[in-house]
Structures are given as structure tokens and as C-alpha cells.
């Protein structure tokens, strides 16, 4: 009897939690398919339309170019940060480098520098160099946030790989570089991919840098959202359509790494 | 190549990136913090003014207000997120289809852009047509017509809600990881001896989770101190200055009023706060590891 009661309470709790998680997301998806007049009602029965998506990709919103900017900025950041971070992570994980603790602390502590501090000097420098409102500028500042973080994360994954097979191969005469390429890299791949996706998500959602460094040409998706706040009020149905465009690719990636993600998180935090 | 030189060589690319993208701006903004520099009047840094910018901060209401707002925000968001995350982890570590489903969708709020979260909560709490404002008014009639984002305390509440919704999942993952790493034996034997679930949780599980919980708390503190995105898209710092966090205040000083000297000084104050917490954090990580290997 009591057990049955607990069982019901637990189901009810889980249902409530899932609703709290999903509701804001579902509401945004619904609104994205509503006509403007329906967007201002809370009815869930309405005639769905794809017009909002057509509108946001047309003039004057040009969501397409923002998608391009976001893809290029996030993609390039990952391509630079992850290889650098993987090499450093291997070194931190396997070698007893002199001053290793200090170096690792240096890497970690940069993670805790507020983004405003980083962007202020870069804003002044890019202004002098005429690089404001370029993707290049965004990539540079994004690297600051992302590189230390992935180093930390990948180190957690490499720590979890036993070093026995590496040592065996080296005794057999394989060089350290070959060991890294042929043994460590394949084994660390799931971790590296997880970290890459994680890093992509961080950059894709990045807001502060893009708000300060872009005006028109290099505007990314999260900044695009703000532009739907016009003098005629907030255009909710268009904001929601843009929101769907920001969210869908990231959700797919997030669900792909969901399993590894939990492990990577704790590996990085505990070790 | 020798291992020794290789070990350093592998570190070079990452350090070049980190030095160029963080240490250089840090140094530059520290130098600017001691100068007078109004960007609307001069394009080069002005006169050296010593600690004037720092002293000004402590005499000015905007800064004091933002410190107060940030403190409230950090305390509430860390406390609520932590309690929720730990409870969720205890609930979700069990087996079951609904448990698995909830664990999977838990990653969605975390993956969502914080700016977008701010926008969507602003939409849902609009007093005229927001679905949550209407829904809450339907359940509690006294809440009908409440101007959620126009009232200082309620606006802070909604801002906190966006942050808690965004971060609780990540913190739950960390707690789940922690729970998975503690040995099950003591818990099981206590259960066989007939100890109640509550006693097991408070007497056996939570004490072993101390390390993880401390790390989670510090991480969440750091994230909360940086609060910026939702302030822009949800409240704009308002009503009045009631949700103007330190990060948002610095942004205004630097990029609305273009006072580079003052903004740099403020940025360094925030950095100092975060550095102190992070040193404490890294210390804890190291001592925690010692405990684990001992």
C-alpha cells in the first residue's frame, strides 16, 4: 500500500519535472508556427503556418546570413581550440611537467575571468585595426573562453583511459608520437567529439561578445533575436521562429552527446 | 623526440592561444583601469589617475546597487539550484523508463541559448498574453494582472527562474556523477538493517557527496557572478536598476557611456572576486584528490 503510494508520488514528480523542462521549449515551437494574431492568444488550437520562417529568412531580417555567421564562428573556434586543447590535455594527463600544477592552475583560472574583462581591450584593439563587426574578431575572443574549458574537459577523458597499452607499445619500441596517434587518439575520440560538440554549443550560444563586437555584417543568431524587438513592439512569432532555428541544431547535437556528457562532466570535475 | 621536450611542446599551442586571448587583455585592462579615458572625447588613453577609478566605484550608487543585486542573485540562485539538483539526482538515479526519459531531456535547457531563454520567459510572463502569467492567474486568481517584469522583486524572481531553469540540469548531471562514484555497500546494508530512506539520504549519502556538492556550489557561484545574457533579453536591468547585475553594469559603463577607465576598474573588481573564489576552488580540488587517494 505505502509502496504503491510512493510509486505514484514519484511518477507525479517526474511528470511535473519533465513538464517544467519541456513547457517553455514546446511553447516556443508552437508560437513559431502561429499567425501573428494567434501568437497573442494562449490557445493551442490554431491554423499552423510556415510564414514566420519565410519572413525571418527574407529582408529585412536576413536570418540566413546570421546562420552562416554562427556556423562559421562556432565551427572555426572548435577547429582551432580542440586540437590545441587535446595536445595540452595529453601532456597534463601523462607527463609530470615541471610547474605542471601552476600551468594547469593558469589554464583553469582563465576560465573564471569575466568575459567583460576580455572583450573590453579586444574591442579597443579591433576598433583600431578596423576589425569590428568581423567573424575573425568573434573567433579570437571566443577562443579565450573555450580553449581552457575544453582542455580541462579532454584531460578528464584522457585520465580515464588506462595507460597500460601505451606503455606496452613503447616497450616494444614505438615512439611517443606514434603511440599518441595510433593508441591514444582512437581511444580518446568519443571524449574529444563530446568536447567538440560542447565547445560548439558554448560558442553558438555566446551572447556578450557578439553583442559588443558586431553591428551588421557579423551578427550571430542570439543577437539576431534582439532585433525582433522593434518600435512596434516585440514580434513574438518571428522571435520564436528564429528561436527554433537557433535551438534545433543544438538540441540534436546535445542529445547525441547526452550519454558521454554526464561522464565527461564528472570526470573533469572530480579528477 | 625526448619525452621531456615533447611534454612542453604539446603545451605550446594551447598556451599561445590562452596567453594571447586572456592574459594580454587582462594586462591591457589593468593598465587602462588606472587611466582616465572617455572614449567619446579621446581615442587614446588619457592621464594616469592612480586609484581614482577604483575609489570612485565605492562612492557611487550604481556600483553599490549592482553589488547588492549580484549578491542577492548569487545567493538565491546557488542555494535553489543546488538543492534542486541534489534532489533531482537522488530521484533520477533510480532505474525506470520515466527516469531515463527525464535524464535525457534534462540536457535541453542547458543547451538552450541563455539569451533565448530570457526572450521566451519575457514572452511567457507578459501580463496581457503571456501563457505563464495567464496560467498562474487561472490557478491563483489573486495573481491576475500582476505586472511580472514591471515590479522590482518579481522581475528579480523571473530572472532567477530563467537561471535556475538553465543551470539545474547541468548541476544535476554533476550530482548524478557523484552519486554513481560513491560505493553502494554501506547504503545497502543500512537498508537491510531497516533504516528509513530519509535517514539513509542524510546519514550516509549526503556526507559522502560533500566534495562534489562543494565543487558544484563554487562552479554555480562563478556562473551566477557572470550573469548577463538574460538581463539584456529579459529585463534590461529594470525596472529601474533592480536587476542590474555587476556584469551588466560594467557593460553599460563601457559600451553605453564609453568610460573605458572606469569600466576597466570595475571589470578588475569583478575579476578579483572571481579569482578569489577560483583559487579557493582549485585548492579544494587538489585537497579533494588527496582525500580520494589517501
* Domain at A75, CATH number: 1.10.3720.10
Given a cut of 50, is residue A37 above it in pLDDT?
yes
Strand (E) or helix (H) holding A233: strand A233-234
Q: Which of B10, B108, B212 sits opposite A254 (nearest CB)?
A: B108
Report how many domains make up chain A: 1
- Average pLDDT of the segment spanning B248-262: 87
Given a cut of 70, is residue A181 above it in pLDDT?
yes
Comparing A108-117, A221-230, B186-195, B221-230, the range with the smallest average pLDDT is A108-117
Q: Does some domain include residue A26? A: no
Given a cut of 50, is residue A271 above it in pLDDT?
no
pLDDT band at B83 (very low <50, low <70, confident <90, very high): very high
Residue B264: closest CA among B60, B65, B26, B58: B26
- The radius of gyration computed from the CA coordinates of chain A, to the nearest angstrom, equals 23
Residue of B nearest to A227 (CA): B233
Distance from CA of A111 to the nearest CA of B (A): 9
- Average pLDDT of the segment spanning B64-71: 91
ipTM value of the model?
0.86
| End-to-end Cα spacing for chain A | 44
**Which residues from A are below 8 Å from B198, CB to CB?**
none
- Average pLDDT of the segment spanning B91-111: 87
CB contact B291 to A (< 8 Å)? no
Omega within 30 of 0 (cis) for the link into A235:
no
* pLDDT tens figures, A220-259: 999 988 888 877 777 888 888 889 999 999 998 888 887 7
pLDDT at A263: 60
Which long-range CB contacts under 8 A does A183-192 form with residues at least 24 apart?
A184/A90, A184/A158, A187/A161, A188/A86, A188/A154, A188/A157, A188/A158, A188/A161, A190/A157, A190/A260, A191/A153, A191/A154, A191/A156, A191/A157, A191/A158, A191/A160, A191/A260, A191/A264, A192/A82, A192/A86, A192/A154, A192/A157
DSSP designation for B47: -
- Helix/strand/coil percentages in chain B, nearest 5: 75, 0, 20
Q: Which residues have a Cβ under 8 Å from the Cβ of B189 and sit 6 or more positions away? A: none
> For chain B, what is the mean pLDDT?
84
pLDDT band at B82 (very low <50, low <70, confident <90, very high): very high
Distance from CA of A6 to the nearest CA of B (A): 12
Strand (E) or helix (H) holding B166: helix B152-181
Per the model's pLDDT, the better-predicted residue between B80 and B10 turns out to be B80
Comparing A12-21, A61-70, A154-163, the range with the smallest average pLDDT is A154-163
Q: Does some domain include residue A28? A: no
CB contact B46 to A (< 8 Å)? no
Comparing A80-84, B55-59, B118-122, B214-218, the range with the smallest average pLDDT is B55-59
Residue ranges of domains in chain B, CATH in brackets: 65-244 (1.10.3720.10)
Given a cut of 60, is residue A127 above it in pLDDT?
yes
pLDDT at B28: 84
Comparing A134-143, B29-38, B97-106, B165-174, the range with the smallest average pLDDT is B29-38
**Which residues from A are below 8 Å from B107, CB to CB?**
254-255, 258, 261
d(CA B229, CA B167) in angstroms, rounded, equals 13
Provide, rounded to the nearest whole percent, the portion of chain B with pLDDT above 90: 20
Q: Does some domain include residue A20? A: no
pLDDT band at A270 (very low <50, low <70, confident <90, very high): very low
Strand (E) or helix (H) holding A246: helix A236-270
Q: Does some domain include residue A17? A: no
Q: Does some domain include residue A234? A: yes
Provide, rounded to the nearest whole percent, the portion of chain B with pLDDT above 70: 96
- Cβ under 8 Å to A: B residues 157-176: 165, 169-170, 173-174, 176
Residue of A nearest to B94 (CA): A10
- Average pLDDT of the segment spanning B25-49: 79
Identify from B111, B169, B220 which residue to disrupt to test chain A contact, counting A C-beta atoms within 10 A and taking the largest count.
B111
- Cβ under 8 Å to B: A residues 86-125: 87-88, 90-92, 94-95, 97, 101, 103, 105-125
Given a cut of 50, is residue A101 above it in pLDDT?
yes
Given a cut of 90, is residue B52 above it in pLDDT?
no
CA B153 to chain centre: 20
- Average pLDDT of the segment spanning B239-257: 89
Q: What angle do CA B31, B35, B40 make, to 5 degrees?
A: 115
Residue B167: closest CA among B96, B230, B125: B230
Range of the domain at A91: 60-270
Question: What count of residues does chain B have?
Answer: 294
Q: Does some domain include residue A266? A: yes
- Average pLDDT of the segment spanning B43-57: 76
Per the model's pLDDT, the better-predicted residue between B122 and B47 turns out to be B122
Q: Does some domain include residue A49? A: no
Given a cut of 50, is residue B293 above it in pLDDT?
no
Q: Which of B16, B107, B251 sits opposite A116 (nearest CB)?
A: B251
Q: Which of B26, B180, B282 sits opposite A117 (nearest CB)?
A: B26
pLDDT at B104: 87
Task: Specify whether the CB–CB gap between B212 and B228 falls below 8 A.
Answer: no
Strand (E) or helix (H) holding A234: strand A233-234
Question: What count of residues does chain A have?
Answer: 271
* pLDDT tens figures, B268-277: 888 888 888 8
Q: Does some domain include residue A15? A: no
- Average pLDDT of the segment spanning A191-208: 90
Per the model's pLDDT, the better-predicted residue between B106 and B47 turns out to be B106
Whole-prediction pTM value? Answer: 0.87
d(CA B276, CA A152) in angstroms, rounded, equals 20
d(CA A21, CA B167) in angstroms, rounded, equals 11
* pLDDT tens figures, B133-151: 888 888 887 777 788 888 8
DSSP designation for B141: G
Amino acid at each position: 500500500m505505502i509502496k504503491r503510494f510512493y510509486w505514484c508520488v514519484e511518477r507525479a514528480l517526474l511528470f511535473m519535472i519533465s513538464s517544467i523542462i519541456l513547457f517553455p521549449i514546446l511553447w516556443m515551437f508552437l508560437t513559431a508556427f502561429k499567425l501573428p494574431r494567434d501568437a497573442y492568444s494562449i490557445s493551442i488550437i490554431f491554423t499552423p503556418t510556415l510564414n514566420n520562417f519565410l519572413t525571418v529568412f527574407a529582408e529585412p531580417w536576413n536570418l540566413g546570413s546570421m546562420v552562416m555567421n554562427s556556423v562559421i564562428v562556432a565551427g572555426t573556434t572548435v577547429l582551432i581550440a580542440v586540437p590545441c586543447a587535446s595536445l595540452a590535455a595529453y601532456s597534463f594527463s601523462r607527463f609530470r611537467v615541471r610547474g605542471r600544477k601552476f600551468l594547469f592552475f593558469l589554464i583553469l583560472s582563465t576560465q573564471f575571468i569575466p568575459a567583460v574583462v576580455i572583450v573590453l581591450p579586444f574591442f579597443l584593439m579591433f576598433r583600431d585595426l578596423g576589425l569590428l563587426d568581423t567573424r575573425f574578431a568573434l573567433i579570437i575572443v571566443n577562443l579565450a573562453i573555450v580553449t581552457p574549458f575544453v582542455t580541462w574537459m579532454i584531460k578528464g577523458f584522457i585520465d580515464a583511459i588506462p595507460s597500460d597499452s601505451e606503455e606496452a607499445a613503447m616497450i616494444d619500441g614505438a615512439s611517443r608520437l606514434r603511440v599518441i596517434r595510433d593508441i591514444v587518439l582512437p581511444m580518446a575520440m568519443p571524449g574529444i567529439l563530446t568536447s567538440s560538440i560542447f565547445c560548439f554549443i558554448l560558442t553558438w550560444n555566446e551572447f556578450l561578445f557578439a553583442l559588443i563586437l558586431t553591428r551588421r555584417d557579423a551578427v550571430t543568431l542570439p543577437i539576431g533575436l534582439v532585433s525582433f524587438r522593434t518600435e512596434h513592439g516585440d514580434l513574438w512569432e518571428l522571435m520564436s521562429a528564429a528561436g527554433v532555428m537557433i535551438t534545433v541544431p543544438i538540441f540534436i547535437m546535445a542529445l547525441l552527446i547526452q550519454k558521454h556528457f554526464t561522464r565527461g562532466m564528472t570526470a573533469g570535475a572530480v579528477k | 623526440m625526448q619525452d621531456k621536450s615533447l611534454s612542453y611542446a604539446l603545451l605550446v599551442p594551447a598556451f599561445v592561444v590562452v596567453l594571447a586571448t586572456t592574459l594580454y587583455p587582462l594586462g591591457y585592462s589593468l593598465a587602462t583601469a588606472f587611466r582616465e579615458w572617455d572614449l567619446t572625447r579621446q581615442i587614446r588613453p588619457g592621464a594616469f589617475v592612480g586609484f581614482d577609478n577604483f575609489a570612485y566605484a565605492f562612492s557611487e550608487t550604481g556600483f553599490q546597487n549592482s553589488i547588492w543585486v549580484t549578491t542577492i542573485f548569487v545567493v538565491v540562485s546557488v542555494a535553489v539550484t543546488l538543492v534542486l539538483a541534489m534532489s533531482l539526482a537522488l530521484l533520477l538515479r533510480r532505474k525506470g523508463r520515466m527516469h531515463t526519459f527525464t535524464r535525457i531531456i534534462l540536457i535541453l535547457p542547458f543547451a538552450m541559448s541563455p539569451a533565448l531563454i530570457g526572450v521566451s520567459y519575457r514572452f511567457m510572463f507578459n501580463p496581457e498574453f503571456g501563457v505563464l502569467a495567464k496560467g498562474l492567474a487561472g490557478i491563483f486568481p489573486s495573481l491576475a494582472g500582476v505586472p511580472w517584469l514591471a515590479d522590482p522583486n518579481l522581475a528579480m524572481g523571473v530572472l532567477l527562474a530563467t537561471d535556475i531553469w538553465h543551470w539545474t540540469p547541468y548541476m544535476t548531471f554533476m550530482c548524478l556523477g557523484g552519486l554513481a562514484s560513491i560505493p553502494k555497500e554501506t547504503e545497502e546494508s543500512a537498508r537491510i538493517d531497516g533504516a528509513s530512506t530519509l535517514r539513509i539520504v542524510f546519514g550516509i549519502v549526503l556526507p559522502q557527496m560533500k566534495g562534489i556538492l562543494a565543487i558544484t556550489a563554487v562552479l554555480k557561484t562563478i556562473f551566477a557572478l557572470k550573469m548577463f545574457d538574460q538581463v539584456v533579453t529579459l529585463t534590461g536591468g529594470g525596472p529601474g536598476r533592480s536587476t542590474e547585475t555587476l556584469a551588466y553594469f560594467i557593460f553599460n559603463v563601457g559600451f553605453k557611456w564609453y568610460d573605458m577607465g572606469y569600466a576597466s576598474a570595475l571589470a578588475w573588481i569583478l575579476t578579483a572576486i572571481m579569482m578569489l573564489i577560483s583559487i579557493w576552488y582549485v585548492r579544494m580540488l587538489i585537497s579533494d584528490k588527496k582525500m580520494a587517494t589517501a
